[in-house]
Structure 1
């Protein structure tokens, strides 16, 4: 159950960012590798067959492509068997701002068309940049509440503490993300929060968000539980991947060969401690965070869907999760403290 929303969902949901394929937005690569749409549809169908009810996308994922692919599943199955979430804000188009109310309505209407439905179960404010002096904040919040009153959406969602992609690129001074997040929650009154959490997330950073959500009765959708496949052991330092121009991994330091080599050492230690199934421990760790949390797992293939959904047939124990968190926490701290030169999230040297 997602907090006090009344929405009951499968504890593992499908994150549909990757099936949007390569893309750029705001001058940055924001997508993934090329995707076969037929394979993506079959993977979504298989997820639904295996009991998944939660499917998450966004207007900016492939600029509507992810939504349209997901819509091919929606038209095949009973709408009441699905909980659909999407997001608004990162794609501006010709509007003065991504949170201009008229633009938000047009984006919502297009999202509903793409998904072949008449309503969304959760609609997220995708980022926390509302213009100078938050000039667009009040109108955006008003628009979201109006959408809910009109029955176009059931629940308002908001992203957890984060930095807007362009502020990273522009070098603007850092703000206190947690304080900013708390201020926005008070004004936007979301009922579901999207929170990044995995074995590489500093535990003291995310624990407070889950406690905050429980205090307010908010549901939580945990994203990036496998860190883009890194925690599933899908990358090898001796076989570095080449990422295309529209692939966001090209600007992320965790995907460099040097970082992958450090991760490999930690994952080998995790396997020695808790067994070979890394996905089981990674997903179990996220789900153990809160009774009000579901986990969104990305995919590009049928095999990944089946692996991820069936991983928790035998859930990890508390002891296994603790050992894995301790090991990968050391990896995360070692990488941050390393004298090596890595790419930060903007592609700049750090």
Structure 2
């Protein structure tokens, strides 16, 4: 597993990390034993980045991670959590006092004195552009509550605004074959500024697993059922904003272009991780088998696998089937 420097910090993180939204809520039920087995499979496969948030299961994801890592003294995992969704996403709620309360709660959940990395959780644009935001975050670093901070964003413009700030360690943004716009400006800007990029929703909420058909259904408490049109949060978080049936068809075309013996999700994860400027890709996993398969995709970065045909197909499919639907929105 490639380990890549996390911007200007002393940490290195794996090219393929683990997103842990599914260990908290909104993807159907995952019990704690199963969650711990996913974490263990990931670490054993070389994963050194867990991405979580204080609202994933109202802190359940953080707490499970904290208990798991406490049982592995000497681990090298960097935990990136997020804050900012415990109240309405209104600029007036992003205050020093709330930042302190949120990070104190995450420290308790994770069982640590200092949080490795805290990201603002897709805040309003006004918060990303405000000097006061970064003054408050700098105070948390100075106080020793957090070691570094970043911003998770929805749009390219938000990413560019965050990258321009001198103490931002990372920007987390959706990057996958269904969401190519960040490749145009965000990745080059981040590389030039020394800011890490975490590519989230890399498999487009499972569409790029290659397992779905137009008849696939999801549980009522799964965001892939209740947020397809943005009823609960930004529509782009579910299937990357792509219409489900269109996405199924697009995934089928991409699957036809993967190298022999390589799965569509493995090709997708390796393709994203190989984009210049991407530090880590953070797919989720509900089972140890999924976790191991995700991590194994990193082997394609070093074993000489030729993804040229897949890269060409990504461009063709995006331009021909998806760009008109998603490019202008995010």
| Fold in common (TM above 0.5) | yes
| 1:310 and 2:310 correspond | no
Partner of 2:176: 198
| 1:114 and 2:128 correspond | no
Correspondence 1:150-165 to 2 at 5 A:
150-160=143-153, 162-163=154-155
Shift of the 114–6 alpha-carbon distance from structure 1 to 2, 3 Å rule, reads same
Matching residue within 67, 81, 84 for 1:86? 81
CA distance in 2 between counterparts of 1:252 and 1:143 reads 35
Matching residue within 230, 235, 249 for 1:262? 249
Partner of 2:66: 71
| 1:19 and 2:23 correspond | yes
Contact residue 35 and residue 64 of structure 2 kept, 8 A: yes
Shift of the 9–265 alpha-carbon distance from structure 1 to 2, 3 Å rule, reads closer
Contact residue 17 and residue 298 of structure 1 kept, 8 A: yes
CA distance in 1 between counterparts of 2:73 and 2:277 reads 27
* TM-score (norm. length: structure 2): 0.82
CA distance in 2 between counterparts of 1:139 and 1:338 reads 36
Contact residue 128 and residue 161 of structure 2 kept, 8 A: no
Shift of the 318–99 alpha-carbon distance from structure 1 to 2, 3 Å rule, reads farther
Contact residue 83 and residue 119 of structure 2 kept, 8 A: yes
The total of aligned residue pairs comes to: 312
CA distance in 2 between counterparts of 1:99 and 1:136 reads 12
Unaligned runs of 5+ in 1: 23-31, 164-176, 346-350
Partner of 1:139: 132
Matching residue within 178, 201, 209 for 1:224? 201
Tell me the CA shift for residue 80 of structure 1: 5.1
SS at 1:12 equivalent: coil
Contact residue 240 and residue 257 of structure 1 kept, 8 A: no
Tell me the CA shift for residue 300 of structure 1: 0.9
Contact residue 162 and residue 168 of structure 2 kept, 8 A: no
CA distance in 1 between counterparts of 2:89 and 2:324 reads 43
Work out which of the two has the higher radius of gyration on C-alpha atoms and give 1 or 2.
1
Unaligned runs of 5+ in 2: 230-238
CA distance in 2 between counterparts of 1:136 and 1:92 reads 19
CA distance in 2 between counterparts of 1:96 and 1:189 reads 21
CA distance in 2 between counterparts of 1:93 and 1:187 reads 24
Tell me the CA shift for residue 138 of structure 1: 3.3
Shift of the 250–206 alpha-carbon distance from structure 1 to 2, 3 Å rule, reads farther
CA distance in 2 between counterparts of 1:194 and 1:337 reads 21
* TM-score (norm. length: structure 1): 0.78
